Every structure is written in structure tokens, then in C-alpha cells.
Structure 1
């Protein structure tokens, strides 16, 4: 423990965010990190608790409390405080393959479980992590370290999202020859095309991928396995195949008028913007533009918020976000005690920007779409919304959101973005390899395992567990890599935590 009284001596300080009306002028990350000296003071606030919930990653009341990667948070917080930045990096990398990603996009489960946060302000674990990894790049600690010995075993990883990258990184460290296949033109999966630049600039991904290439990993882009390349070919050429293709079947909204022109899935909207931005700074117009349009976003999660921020940067005339569920409380309810994940209302960057631009929060709670309205040319021109209330289903006894009779209202709209989550694995890749699915349409495996019903085929990430967080994807990738390694070598010394 660095400074026993640090949590009392120092206040929580975080990076400074650029003002909303300034940052919406571009698609850049908008936080100015603390200096190394200021970050070290924040490290001093960690109490090195007897029970460090920050790194527990356990399930409490159906929610994750603490980091699923079991990051050694108190250890590297103390090392930051004492200025041992290289050792802090070494401790961080023991459990996390990609702190450059998690320190930008993770919702900081560690901080939500921080004991300091129970009584006051949590330790800035996420920003300390960011300081560690960025300093490591500056000082050369994060440079490529190719394995000294190769096993001669070959593994194909299908999908280059965080799970696939984690599998590849771990198996390459073990000395196996790894090839990663990606159907898009750039590596990164949803990190590249599902998360906007404001949260994760793409040079951050490219920087890490370049190092992975130096370490011996081969990346094959613009190749859709199951269509461009036959599954049988890969199973013949490689000793093992790992499916990490994500859960990319978007949940649709079934309502009259769904065929109107101007309705898109959020993932397609975000991907098109990012690709056009990277290809031409949006000059090619090969994206779904929200400029001058009345935008309605259906869905209140992170993806919905990203659509808010992106639409505002396009120059939308208005932005409205519909959420089915009631507004969460502003502070923890009595039935949601620490260290459970806090079920409280969060106003994210997109909503902050909407408030600054339009003068009000874009969210409308307990509301969904009952009908899409279109003009005589089939273009979307509006919606019919309906209010929802929580009711008990008489057949199942479960609580559900039901329509409030007579609560219908009309709303103008030129562009609708559906951000209602994902339903599971895309069928063509499942059919190509012949793997079984479970009731949730995820690839089926034994409990706690990653081997599928098909010999030598494994799975990991959202394809295995359903839509989830980057930290869970990395953990799944690490665990799957260990299981693959054991199947190849008869044993494994790869760490999973």
C-alpha cells in the first residue's frame, strides 16, 4: 500500500473533457489526460483493501462486480503512486492483453466496486490504467516481443474483435502460428466499426495490430470465412480453428411501416460513418447521413448513445432517443447496495452533447414505436409511439413492459436508427462449420468450456456468451486460448487471470 491516508489526503481528479459544443466539431477523442505527476497522486488514493472487490469480477444479483479480467488493480495503483511505471505495466499486462482499448471503452466495473466509492469517490482505476499503457508506448515497454520458440502448430482465428485478438495474442505468445481472418477491410471487429472514434480513435487499434504483426501473427482481411473461404479448407490446413465472429444479428422492431426508406440498424449507421471517415474524412459521402434530419434512435444503451453523438456531429436537426424502460434513479436504491453494479441513471457523452445543442435531454423513457409512418414515395416521415408500463404477465408471473391504452402519439422523423441490441450468431458461419447453438442462439459448449461439438473447433467472445463488454471478450479469448493450447500440447502454462 502506497500511502495509507491517500484516500483522505487527495480528492479524485480525472481527465478534462473538451466542452460539448467544441468537441462535436470533429470525431476525435476529447479527453486531456492528467500529467504523470497528477496520475501518481491518484494512485495514492488506492487503499489496497483486504478484499479488493475492484478485481473480483464476480456475479452479484445477476450483474458483474469488479473486473472480469481480475486485473491486479491495487498492485498497479501502488506502483503508479511510487513512480514504478514499467513494473506497473508488467503487472497490468499479466491479466489484460489490451489495456489501450479497455482504458478507453470499458465502463470501469473496477471503479463501481471500489471500496472508496462506497464511502465517497472511487479511485481512478481506469485512468490510471490509461496512464500506464500510454506511458509504456512512450517509453518503449510495449514494443513487440516475438516468441523465441515456435511449436509448428497452426491455428486459424475467425474474427478480429477483442475476443479473437486475445485468442491470437495468447496463442502466439505460446509459440503457435496464428492467422486471423477478418471479413471487413480493417482489423478490429466492433472495436473498429462498432465504437465511434470519439471513444476509440482507430490509430490506437492500428498501433497494437502492428505490434502483433511484428510478433508473428498473420492478418487476412476482406475474407469472409464460410463464403469466400470454405470451412473444410481451414479445418484441413490448420490444427485448430477458433470462431470469434461476434453476435451480429441485430434485434429488429416489428411494426407496421417497417419497410419505409430511412430506417437503419445502428451498427450499419456507425460502421458506415467510421469507414467513410477513415477512407476520406467523410468526403466520399458513402455513409448514412443525419445532416438536417429529425433523428429518432430506438434503444437506450451505449450503442444508442453513440448514435446520438454521431448524429449530432453529422448536423442533425433534432435527436430523440426512445427507451423502453423507466428512468433509473440518480443514486443507488436501497435494494442495489455496494458492491453491486450501480443501476443508476447515466448521462453519457452523446446525451451531454444533445443537451448542449438542443437544450434538453434526448431521452424519452417507457416509450416504444407502434407504427412507422411513410409518405407517398415510401420515405419515412414520422412515427406513432406508445407509452409502456410495468405489469405482471398472468401466465408466467414475470414482470413485463405493456402498452398503456390510449397513449399513442405522433412524432416527426426522417431517420430512424434501431439500437435494440443483438440476437446472436449469424447463421451462415454456424452452418459452414456445423456447430450447435444453444437456446440463446449462441454457439453451444459445455459449461465453462470453449470446445464446440465439432472436432478441433472452438469459440469465444460474444459468439459464445452473447453481446457483452470488451473485458468479457478478452477474458473469454484468454480462457479459450488456454483450452486450445491444452488440446494441442497436452498442457498449458498460459495465464487466464
Structure 2
């Protein structure tokens, strides 16, 4: 694959970024895509390895060596055909996937891996530019009706695959636009929303009926889950109207931090903060928008959501931004002999961190403090980990000044009342209980009701959501027709 000696001749080339002062002035994407020639050189680095671990490292099992070789040969259309065969939305994963495929790259054993993600990004964008992305309309209709509940990447993939199999598919979304966390979680500077909109138009052309602003089931009272629904439909009505139902909502229950002072004004979940800015970017007016302008911001949580809060706060014009992480600081370089080909534990610095952010590790918040009901700071303590248990370090107590705290500590489970409405059994983490077996996979305890994505596996990556949506679509197709020609 690629050039036989390419991995010895060429070095890894990263995609570039627009300068920080320039990109902080807007919410547009700022990654500079590789040129055709640069992408070809990266494709040339792909080794002719006997077992391409990148394929299995990729949750959707992209046929990576094949499209690397095709890009090296500048055969872009065939490269897109290969990529499109396994991934419904490579323009999403080429932007926001952390690239477990690169961690699994054979070249990564003792060198820098092939720039697989940048190649995927280049292929997907060129496909749209050249008009190769076209609706695939089913030639034969089955007469079967399927409801897909939740329009994140899992729901989008499931709905699209089922429509291509000839079923009448209706995609339900409680919010006012399609996309789930792609729409109202991922900031526009990482994924501009026209990327979603044009896929929605493709899905409509393929026969998917889209209904936004519809809440299936109900949210518990006082829930902080984003919901702009104007209409409600019960699980019983949905099951009566459709031959199968696929639950593809997210794990939307944010992990809270129940310490003294949690109810002070100025302490918010990340998923209260981020969706509002995305709505403003879309031209909506948001009353009482949570803003970071001129504020001392502390983000609690060291993952991608926390990083997104950092980038958005800096674009608001925050006075300062600090990010807390409970775990100790990871090593700068992973132990490849120990971790390869699996996802390594190592220090990761995002583009948002580079825009301005202080990072604190092994730190725990003990209390939020304030005056007259408003946040003014928080009390912290350093922690250390021994035998898998956390212990406070005596004498390390400290008070940080803060006007805004954003809780970005991950998500614990789907909304329980929705699963209860369908009578679906849940696992010990509160997710919909369903296996991924070839026989009967993704089926819940309720006949005709399936679950996929974060609602089944818990908080995860966009690429895992696409995989589960595709595989669940095949399982539903088999349930309805007795067989399926859809890829798994």
C-alpha cells in the first residue's frame, strides 16, 4: 500500500491551524486541510503491513490501507467510494474523531503514525466539492415503517441505512434541529453546522421523514437536559404506529458535583453553556445566555467537553480560563511497548488549550463559595492516588477566584424516564440493555424496540455512534424482513 519505502522517506505532516488571534474572533472552522499533494505523501507513508491494525482500531472498520493507497495515487473518487462504504459521515469523523486508527497504526510502534484522519478529512471534503456525494434512493419499498428516536450520529446513521434498505423511516428529535451533540454540543469552530445540514438534505432525498421539536416520552421534572420540544408523543403511540422503533438518544444526564454551594449563581453544566452559543451562531436569540465575557472561568473536567468550554470561553473574551482535572497529569509520551495498538494514556493538548488556558491536575473541588447568592470562587485540595483510591493531600487547600464554573465531567446515563416509558430493561449503568451480537443484536427486552449509540453503550465517541447506528439498522432490517443486505 502506498509507496513501498514511503514510511522511511517521508515524515508525518499535521494539518495546520489559523493563527490564534485570528480564529478567536469567530466561530468558524480554522483547520487548514492538507493539499492534494500533501495528502498523497501521507498516503505514501502507509506500510504494506501484513495485518493492518488501523482497520480494527477504527470502530467503523474503515478500509484504511486501501484509501491511503488510492490517495497516494491521486485516485480521489475511488478513495471516496472505499471510505463511503463503511462510514456514512466521514466529514464528521475527519474533523472530530480522536483517531484511534492512528494509535493502532503499525508505524506508530516506533515512529509517528500515518496521518489517517487528515487523509479522511481531505477525501470527504473533496467528495462534496466534486459532487460525488449523492442520495442513494431505494429502488424497492418494503412497506415497513420504522421510527428512529434521537438524531445524533447514531440516529442519523440508522435512519439513513434503513431508508436505503427501502423502509419508511421517520427520525424524531426533541430539539429544533437535527444533529444531537453534533449540533448542540460540538462548537462550530470544530464542526460548522452546514456539514450536518447538507447530510439532512441527502437523507430527506433518500426518503427519511424528519420531525423536529417532538419529545418522545417525557423528561423528569427539573431536568436540565436540552429540550426545545413543542410536541409530545408517547412511547405507546409510537409503537402502535411503527413496525419497529430504534432508540438512539444520547447519554444526556450530566455528571454533577454535589458539594456545598452548588446552587450558587454562576455554576452551570457544560451542556447548558455550549448549546446556547451554537444556537446564537445559528441566528437564534437566547434570553439570558450564559456568557464568559470578562469573567474568571474555571472548567471542571479535563476531557473534550471541557476543552470545548475553554475554546468557547476564550471566544467570549474571558478574563482567565483554568481547567481542572481530578486525575494526575499524564506522561508526555506513552509507553508504546505497553499500549500499542490500543488507545494510549498520555498528555493531550487541544487547539483550545493552545488558545489560552491554565491546566491543573490532581485537584478536587471541596466547595463553591459566594456572596449574595453569586459565585466568587471555589475551595480546592490536591489529591493523590494510591492503590486505585483517591486521598487528599494535607496542607494543599487553596481558594480559586471564579465568576463562572462549567461542569464538564462527562455523562452518566440516558434519561431514565424515556427508557421507562418503553419498558426497556436497563443495565447496571442505567443504559438500555441490548447486546451487539450478530443474532438479535441491538434488540432490547421489548419486541420491536432496538437501542444503539450512547443510549446503549453510554458516553462515547461520534465514530462509535455511527458504527452502532449502522449495525442497529442491519439488525432492524433482519427483524423486519428475515434477512438483510445492509453492511454491518
**Which residue of structure 2 aligns with residue 366 of structure 1?**
362
Q: Match of 1:458?
A: 450
Alpha carbons 1:272, 1:286 under 8 Å: kept: no
In structure 1, the residue matched to 2:323 is: 321
Q: Secondary structure at the match of 2:426?
A: coil
Of 26-35 and 363-372, deviating more is 26-35
- 1:386 and 1:409 in contact (8 A); partners too: yes
1:421 aligns with 2:410: yes
In structure 1, the partner of 2:168 is 177
Q: Would the aligned equivalents of 1:100 and 1:134 in 2 still touch at CA under 8 Å?
A: yes
Q: Say which SS state the counterpart of residue 21 (structure 1) adopts.
A: helix
TM-score, normalised relative to structure 1: 0.93
Q: Which of 421, 424, 437 is 1:435 aligned to?
A: 424
Structure 1 stretches lacking a partner, 5+ long: 57-65, 355-360, 393-398
- 1:120 and 2:121 are equivalent in the alignment: no
Q: Deviations over 1:7-54 (max 9, x none)?
A: 122222232211222211111111121222221222111113111011
Where does structure 2 lack aligned partners over 5 or more consecutive residues?
Answer: 219-231
CA distance in 2, matches of 1:236, 1:162: 26
Given that 1:380 and 1:415 are in contact with CA atoms closer than 8 Å, whether structure 2 keeps it comes out as: yes
Q: 1:211 to 1:286 in 2, by over 3 A?
A: farther
> In the aligned structure 1, how far is the partner of 2:108 from the partner of 2:22?
31
Instruction: Please name the residue that 2:46 is paired with.
Output: 46
Instruction: Name the counterpart of 1:352.
Output: 354
- Alignment partners' CA distance in 2, 1:158 and 1:451: 15
Q: In structure 2, how many angstroms separate the alpha carbons of the residues matched to 1:17 and 1:135?
A: 19
Partner residue of 1:200 out of 188, 191, 204: 191
For residue 229 of structure 1, what is the aligned residue in structure 2? 233
Q: Does 1:277 align with 2:281?
A: yes
8 Å contact 1:182–1:220 — kept in the other structure? Answer: yes
The offset of 1:447, in angstroms, is 5.8
1:18-97 equivalent positions in 2, closer than 5 A: 18-56=18-56, 66-97=57-88
SS at match of 2:470: helix
Residues 127-186 of structure 1: CA deviation (Å, up to 9, x unaligned): 111111111111111121211111111100000001111111111111111110001111
Which of residues 374, 382, 390 in structure 1 aligns to 2:385?
390
Q: CA deviation at 1:337?
A: 3.4
Name the TM-score, length of structure 2 as normaliser: 0.94
**Cross-structure match for 2:229:** none
1:491 match: 483
* Alignment check: 8 A CA contact 1:167 1:477 kept: yes
Q: Does the 8 Å CA contact 2:95/2:191 hold for their aligned counterparts?
A: yes
Contact 1:276 1:285 in 2 (8 A): no
**Whole-Å Cα distance in 2 between the matches of residues 45 and 215 of structure 1?**
37
| Deviations 1:167-209, CA, capped at 9 Å, x for gaps | 1111111111111000111100001111001110111111111
Is the CA contact 1:14–1:33 (under 8 Å) kept in the aligned structure 2?
Answer: no
Superposed CA offset, 1:96-136 (max 9, x none): 11101000000011111112222222111111111111111
Q: Deviations over 1:33-81 (max 9, x none)?
A: 122222122211111311101111xxxxxxxxx1011110000100111
SS of the residue corresponding to residue 401 of structure 1 reads strand
Find the aligned partners of 1:333 and 1:45 in 2 and give their Cα distance.
23
How do 1:284-323 and structure 2 match up within 5 A? 286-323=288-325
Q: Deviations over 1:314-365 (max 9, x none)?
A: 00111111110000000113773322222110111111011xxxxxx51101
CA displacement at 1:256 relative to structure 2: 0.6
Aligned match of 1:337: 339
Corresponding position of 2:204 = 213
Question: How many residues are treated as equivalent by the alignment?
Answer: 472
Query: Is the partner of 2:293 in helix, strand or coil?
Result: coil
Q: 2:265: which partner in 1?
A: 261
SS state of the match for residue 48, structure 1? coil
Q: Is contact 1:336-1:343 (8 Å) kept?
A: no
Structure 2 residue corresponding to 1:135, chosen from 123, 126, 129: 126
Question: Partner of 2:254: helix, strand, or coil?
Answer: coil
Contact 2:109-2:337 at 8 Å conserved across structures = no
